[in-house]
A and B are shown apart, each in its own frame.
Chain A
Amino acid sequence: MSQQLLLDLVENTSMKEETPFFEIGDTVDVHCRILEGEKERVQIFNGVVIARSGSGTREMFVVRRIVQGEGVERKFPLQSPRIAKIEVKRSGVVRRAKLYYLRDRVGKAVRLKERRGDPKKRAELASRG
């Protein structure tokens, strides 16, 4: 068997059954489980998805938001069991895969133009390939 197939066999066991659908430029709510001592609680990080990288269990995505005038970016592993849910709040019109140019912008210039159309339909199209 090829090396990649062997890796896939192992990786598939720790992949999520259904990967949440979102795109670059989407404003999302990331629900992450956080352990506080014994208790587990869900924290929500809201922001714009500016990059996705990697594949399989190693896939990561970067979410950027502005907190008190300061840009904050968090990089999440997509397949991690600590990520409970990813909710798409709004889709933006973007023309590239990495929105690093947003880092140089402040104020009104950070906004992305809203993308029209049903996000559910887009998810369906993407899943069909």
Chain B
Amino acid sequence: MTQIYDPTGKVIPVTVIQAGPCHVLQLMTQERDGYEAIQLGYLDKPRRLAGRSARGQVAKLDSKRQRRRAAAGVQAVQKPDCEPKRYVRELRGSVGNREIGQELKVDVFAEIKSVDVVGTSKGRGTAGAMKRHNFHGQRASHGVKKCHRHVGGTGCSATPSRIIKGKKMAGRYGNARCTVRNLKVVRVDVDNDLLVVRGAVPGPNGGYVIIKQTNKV
């Protein structure tokens, strides 16, 4: 994150996201798949890491099955014909006029005012209830002994003699899918493929995120 100034001199806290270029790897259609979606790939995968399935996803590979199917007159699936991709994600929604193999740049966000950003939040390991659920803990003084950050009571007594399911307690925190909605798009830099949004996005610096047009009005 960093900050920039608007013309009146107000500071805008912004996150700079390298958005694309992404390749369209596959299009899910209503007739064939039962739903509409678009599969995007970002960053080239080093060839040594790309297995046969990853290579087969982006280019036509020769195989016995392919030859048999071709002989039987089955039309082969269209391939994007690009390098194997490192990050592949499917986004639901209308396909529009996108084509397989098309390169999507950040200018798709040119007309969009705000976006949702999905990422994996920073992992915090085992965390106490104060950090994990914003509990208040206990007092610093007035007789509180060695349990200043404890949860406190967790339930009732003899009835029901158990703790209610879903009780918020200490435990693993972070490293989970997290969406931040309705972030304003501050700038779209087509030359450098940069998307600048107002506010923070989930995850560490250099993390990977999915950016969608917001559905929040």
Residues of A within 8 A of B (CB): 1, 3, 6-7, 9-11, 13-14, 33, 35, 56-58, 77, 79-82
**A57-B4, A58-B2, A79-B5 given; 5 more Cβ-contact pairs under 8 Å:** A9-B192, A10-B187, A11-B2, A58-B3, A81-B7
Known: A1-B18, A10-B14. A80 touches B5 (CB 8 A): yes
Are B189's CB and A9's CB within 8 A?
A: yes
B206 interface residue per 8 A CB criterion: yes
Q: Which of chain A's residues have a CB closer than 8 A to the CB of B7?
A: 81
Q: Sample 9 A-B pairs with CB under 8 A, ordered by A number.
A: A1-B192, A6-B18, A7-B16, A9-B194, A10-B196, A35-B8, A77-B11, A80-B5, A80-B9
Which partner residue on chain B sits nearest A35 by CB separation?
A: B8
* Residues of B with C-beta under 8 A to A77: 11
Instruction: Count residues of chain B with CB under 8 A from any CB of chain A.
Output: 18
Determine the distance from Cα of A57 to Cα of B196 in the docked complex, in whole angstroms.
Answer: 15
In the assembled complex, which residues on chain A have CB atoms less than 8 Å from the CB atom of B189? 9-10
- Set of chain A residues within 8 Å of B11, measured between Cβ atoms: 77, 80
A77 vs B206: C-alpha distance when bound (angstroms): 27
Across the interface, do A14 and B9 meet the contact criterion of CB distance under 8 Å? no
Identify which of B4, B192, B205 contacts A3 (C-beta below 8 A).
B205
Q: Do A6 and B192 touch (CB < 8 A)?
A: yes
Q: Is the interface of A mostly helix, strand, loop or mixed?
A: helix
How close is A95's CB to chain B, nearest CB, in angstroms?
A: 32
B182 smallest CB distance to A (angstroms) = 21
Q: A57–B5 contact, CB under 8 A? A: yes
Contact A10/B16 with A3-B205, A3-B206, A77-B11 known, Cβ cut-off 8 Å: yes
Q: How far is the CA of A9 from the CA of B7 in the complex (A)?
A: 18
Residue-wise interface mask of B (44-60) relative to A, using a CB-CB cutoff of 8 A (1 in contact, 0 not)? 00000000000000000
Give min CB distance, B189 to chain A, whole Å. 7
Q: How far is the CA of A79 from the CA of B8 in the complex (A)?
A: 13
Q: Is the CB of B3 within 8 A of A57?
A: yes
Please judge, given known A-B contacts A3-B206, A10-B187, whether A57 and B2 are in contact too, CB under 8 Å: yes
Residues of chain A within 8 A (CB-CB) of B14 are: 10
CB distance from A83 to the nearest CB of B (A): 8
Contacts A1-B18, A3-B205, A3-B206 hold; do A10 and B2 have CB atoms under 8 A apart? yes
A43 to chain B, nearest CB (A): 13
A71 to B8, CA, bound (A): 30
Residues of B within 8 A of A13 (CB): 4
